[in-house]
Structure 1
Amino acid sequence: MGGSEAQQRIADAVGRVVNVRSVPLVRLAHEDGTERAVVVVRVGLPPLLPVTDVVTVIAHVQLTVARLVPQGTAVHVEPSVAADQATPTEAIVIRAME
């Protein structure tokens, strides 16, 4: 499966996960030094989604991607969510990790 075909397949599957509104990025790469496969997926989530639900969506996205890629592939999910247009995503994510 070619890169763009694999990326589209991942984007399509992730787009069906509950509360995922968009999949603006699917990137396939390899870790420096180890050549371990890495998939980075950015997902757009609904405004005002509770942080507990953000965590659940991230877990579901990781599981969805893991089922489509070779075993041992690292899957990183970048949520894009904000409480309102003025709140940067980083503020929400950092608060959730505290």
Structure 2
Amino acid sequence: MAATDGHATEGIVQAVGRVKNVRSVPLVRYAHEDETGRPVVVIRVGLPPLLPLTEVVTAIAHVQLTLARLVPAGAAVHVEPDVAADQATPTEAIVIRGME
């Protein structure tokens, strides 16, 4: 799966977009680890802002399982949840608040 493969990206966006509680998939990025060359897929998913933490964890797990079926075997998958209520609230603020 190449980073420039728009069909692969579209397929990921569509499949992950069907996961329960995923509102959007604003980012899909491909890379390779420097030392090993192992493929890395980074995805950001928009989740409802009032979703309980247990449901956030469940949604992330389902996104990871969905991606595992679509990316090369052995690829590292990183899921970044975005639970901001609006575009003005940075994700980092939400994550920090959730940890407190």
Q: Which of residues 19, 24, 27 is equivalent to 1:25?
A: 27
| Separation of aligned partners in 1, 2:89 and 2:6 | 33
Extract structure 1 runs of 4+ deviating beyond 6 A.
none
Q: TM-score, normalised by structure 2?
A: 0.84
Residue identity opposite 1:33 in structure 2 = E
Runs of 5+ unmatched residues, structure 2: none
| Separation of aligned partners in 1, 2:63 and 2:71 | 13
Identical pairs, percent:
74
SS at match of 1:5: helix
Look up the match of 2:60.
58
Report the count of equivalent residues. 97
1:31 positional shift? 1.0
Contact 1:7–1:28 (Cα < 8 Å) also in 2: no
Structure 1 18/31 Cα, relative in aligned 2: closer, same or farther at 3 Å?
A: same
Look up the match of 2:43.
41
Residue identity opposite 2:47 in structure 1 = L
1:91 positional shift? 3.1
1:14 aligns with 2:16: yes
1:92 aligns with 2:86: no
Q: TM-score, normalised by structure 1?
A: 0.86
Residue by residue over 1:46-92, the C-alpha shift from the partner in whole angstroms, topping out at 9 and shown as x without a partner, is 1211111111100100110001112100000011103x447542233
Residue by residue over 1:15-56, the C-alpha shift from the partner in whole angstroms, topping out at 9 and shown as x without a partner, is 000000000011111111211001111001112111111111
